[in-house]
């Protein structure tokens, strides 16, 4: 890192060294809450990806030459270093992604550390099986690392989702080229540096910052990268799938959502309203599993709307560095404009803005919590992912109607049910097309539980034992027992 007029400049981290990007170009990184420039970050190119992929390929032998137990100890050392440097990482994440600092401290940072420790525990438990297929042979399997992993990370949870990919890949013996989102590279760069300090050998974890259309594309096309793990939009995910077809690359896609959060008339309304408000307004709605469609039984519709408006009024928006702030800005001017465009679309489609609907202030990319009523299931604001603090309230008649509306989008990442009727809860939970169903709560994830969706929400699962499938391949070994 060089200090350039107080704005730091960051190079690429390849093979354990800071490397000047081949392009000589740097992009400007902003704090979305203040619009101030916080860093200049290397704009990687196809050539830089090639150097990183080759370094990662060479490092595979080194990383797998270390015992699994020792790799676990190294991952735990990285977790220790994240813990030791957590105030700096929390500040970087908050400043770069526009997240309220209290929320990074409470959620993103502990989740990142927990994920590292969880997968540190897996390193020496990734085992094959002896399968008694024949009497004339000893037949067994071993689980081998998939090889070099290209990890493409989004901007909404850069630290946490970055570690969701790095930790299991390293635990499985893979090496990585990581591409953080162009807007939010700060914590990934620091983690790359801490990984070296933890004893992760050079070349095992390479950080190549830059544009998705340049660095990301080059990673997908590179013959030395065996697997792409991607979290981001369905549009980019589709392109990655097409690109990966050329080399038959293994891929995992964690894409978008338009999750239904269903409130039945027997629900405890205090907790339903509290949980549903945070389900859509947490992280300013920039959450893949945001409960952006709030389905409310017609009997309680008006009461729920009134109570949601009351909650929205009390959400403290503002300075992300203040411990009291609940909601920060959107990540960029572009994202703010996209959200404002959707608010216009909703109005033109005939939905009613019951609360919010405008930009807040003229510095920083803040949009007020927004509540739409009179939303028809077919409207664009009910079908497309907005990725902002915009709730669509949709009334329903009965259980069947709720399930029909909930399952009526191309997505299937998550869903919520609020009810006191245990039979109904189980029945509806089974009927919902969703990778995760929350009951009488909303939005929690835990590294021990599989995470992902189907359809436009992608495929494959992160977290838990399921993630080990993403980063290993079984190999069958057949030893003849016949006498020669
Ligand atoms: P995005 O698709 O624009 O970008 C994601 C990443 O892909 C970034 O690193 C970007 O630089 C890179 N990229 C862009 N173009 C590329 C290309 N041509 N080739 C390869 N990589 C490329 O998404 P985003 O706006 O950063 O994130 C928001 C999206 O992510 C939303 O749709 C959201 O639902 C989804 N998301 C999903 C999950 C999940 O777990 N399912 C979690 C968080 C976010």
* pLDDT tens figures, 187-216: 999 999 999 999 999 999 999 999 999 999
Q: Are 359 and 337 in contact (CB under 8 A)?
A: no
Index of the ligand 1 atom closest to the CA of residue 181: 9
- Torsion angle defined by CA atoms of residues 368, 369, 370 and 371, in that order, rounded to the nearest 10 degrees: -160
Closest protein CA for atom 43 of ligand 1: 288
Index of the ligand 1 atom closest to the CA of residue 217: 19
Give the distance (Å) from ligand 1 centre to CA of residue 152: 8
Give the distance (Å) from ligand 1 centre to CA of residue 380: 21
State whether the Cα torsion 418-423-424-426 is positive or negative: positive
pLDDT score of 6: 85
Token pair listed for 218? 């080059």
Catalytic one among 11, 182, 254, 385? 254
pLDDT score of 2: 47
Q: Which long-range contacts (CB under 8 A, 24 or more apart) does 426-434 make?
A: 427/399, 428/262, 428/399, 428/402, 428/403, 431/403, 431/407, 432/260, 432/403, 432/406, 432/407, 433/406, 433/407, 434/259
Is residue 288 part of the annotated active site? The answer reads yes
User: Which positions ≥6 away from 213 have C-beta within 8 Å?
Assistant: none
Residues 330, 33: Cα–Cα separation, whole Å: 8
pTM: 0.96
Q: What one-character DSSP code corresponds to residue 367? A: B
Task: Give the chain's residues under pLDDT 70.
Answer: 1-5
Give the distance (Å) from ligand 1 centre to CA of residue 108: 18
Index of the ligand 1 atom closest to the CA of residue 155: 26
- Torsion angle defined by CA atoms of residues 106, 355, 441 and 464, in that order, rounded to the nearest 10 degrees: -60
Q: Which residues line ligand 1 (CB under 6 A)?
A: 152-156, 161, 179, 181-182, 212-213, 216-217, 220, 231-233, 236, 239-240, 254-257, 288, 385, 387, 413
Residues 95, 77: Cα–Cα separation, whole Å: 26
Query: Based on the number of CB atoms within 10 Å of its own CB, is 208 exposed (0-12), middle (13-18) or buried (19 or more)?
Result: buried
The pLDDT tens digits of the residues spanning 154-179 come to 999 999 999 999 999 999 999 999 99
Index of the ligand 1 atom closest to the CA of residue 458: 41
Token pair listed for 388? 């902002």
Report the DSSP beta bridge partners of residue 137.
480
Residues 164, 168: Cα–Cα separation, whole Å: 7
Index of the ligand 1 atom closest to the CA of residue 234: 32
Is residue 462 part of the annotated active site? The answer reads no
Closest protein CA for atom 12 of ligand 1: 212
Closest protein CA for atom 13 of ligand 1: 212
Catalytic one among 11, 172, 288, 385? 288
Residue to substitute in 236, 290, 461, 466 for testing ligand 1 pocket (most ligand atoms within 8 angstroms of CB): 236
Closest protein CA for atom 14 of ligand 1: 212
In 3-state terms, what secondary structure has residue 421? coil
Give the distance (Å) from ligand 1 centre to CA of residue 235: 9
Opening angle at CA 391, ends 377 and 323, nearest 5: 165
Give the distance (Å) from ligand 1 centre to CA of residue 234: 8
Alpha helices in 361-465 (DSSP H): 380-383, 399-406, 422-431
Residue to substitute in 212, 411, 445 for testing ligand 1 pocket (most ligand atoms within 8 angstroms of CB): 212
């Amino acid at each position: 890192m060089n200090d350039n007029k107080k704005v730091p400049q960051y190079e690429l981290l390849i093979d354990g060294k800071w490397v000047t990007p081949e392009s000589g170009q740097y992009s400007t990184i902003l704090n979305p809450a203040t619009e101030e420039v916080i860093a200049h970050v290397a704009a990687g190119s196809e050539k830089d990806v090639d150097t990183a992929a080759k370094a990662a390929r060479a490092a595979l032998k080194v990383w797998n030459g270390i015992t699994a137990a020792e790799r676990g100890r190294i991952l735990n050392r990285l977790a220790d270093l994240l813990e030791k440097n957590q105030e700096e990482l929390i500040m970087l994440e908050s400043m770069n992604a526009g997240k309220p600092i209290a929320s990074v401290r409470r959620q993103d940072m502990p989740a990142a550390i927990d994920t590292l420790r969880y997968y540190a525990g897996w390193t020496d438990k990734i085992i094959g099986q002896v399968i008694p297929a024949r009497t004339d042979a000893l037949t067994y399997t071993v689980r081998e690392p998939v090889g070099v992993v290209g990890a493409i990370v989004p901007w909404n949870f850069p630290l946490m989702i970055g570690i969701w990919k790095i930790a299991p890949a390293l635990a499985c013996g893979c090496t990585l080229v990581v591409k953080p989102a162009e807007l939010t590279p700060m914590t990934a760069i620091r983690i790359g540096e801490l990984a070296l300090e933890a004893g992760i050998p050079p070349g095992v974890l390479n950080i190549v910052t830059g544009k998705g259309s340049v660095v990301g594309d080059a990673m997908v096309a590179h013959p030395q990268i065996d697997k792409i793990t991607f979290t981001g939009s369905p549009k980019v995910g589709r392109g990655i799938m097409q690109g990966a077809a050329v080399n038959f690359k293994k891929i995992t896609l964690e894409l978008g959502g338009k999750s239904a959060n269903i409130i039945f008339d027997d629900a405890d309304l205090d907790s339903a309203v509290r949980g549903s408000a945070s389900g859509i307004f947490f992280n300013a709605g920039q959450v893949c599993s945001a409960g952006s469609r709030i389905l409310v039984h017609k009997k309680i519709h008006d009461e729920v709307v009134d109570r949601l408006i009351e909650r929205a009024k009390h959400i403290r928006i503002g300075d992300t560095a203040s411990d009291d702030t609940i909601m920060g800005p959107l990540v960029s001017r572009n994202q703010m404009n996209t959200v404002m465009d959707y608010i216009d679309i909703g109005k033109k489609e005939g939905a009613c803005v019951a609360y919010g609907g405008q930009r807040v202030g003229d510095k920083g990319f803040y949009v007020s919590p927004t509540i739409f009523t009179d939303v028809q299931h077919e409207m664009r604001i009910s079908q497309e992912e907005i990725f902002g603090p915009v709730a669509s309230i949709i009334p329903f008649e009965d259980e069947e109607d709720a399930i029909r509306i909930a399952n009526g989008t191309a997505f299937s990442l998550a869903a919520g049910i609020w009810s006191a009727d245990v039979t109904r809860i189980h029945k509806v939970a089974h009927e919902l097309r969703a990778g995760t169903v929350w009951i009488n709560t909303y939005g929690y994830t835990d590294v021990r539980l599989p995470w992902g969706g189907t359809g436009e929400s992608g495929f494959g699962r992160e977290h838990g034992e399921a993630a080990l499938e993403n980063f290993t391949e079984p190999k069958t070994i057949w030893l003849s027992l016949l006498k020669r």
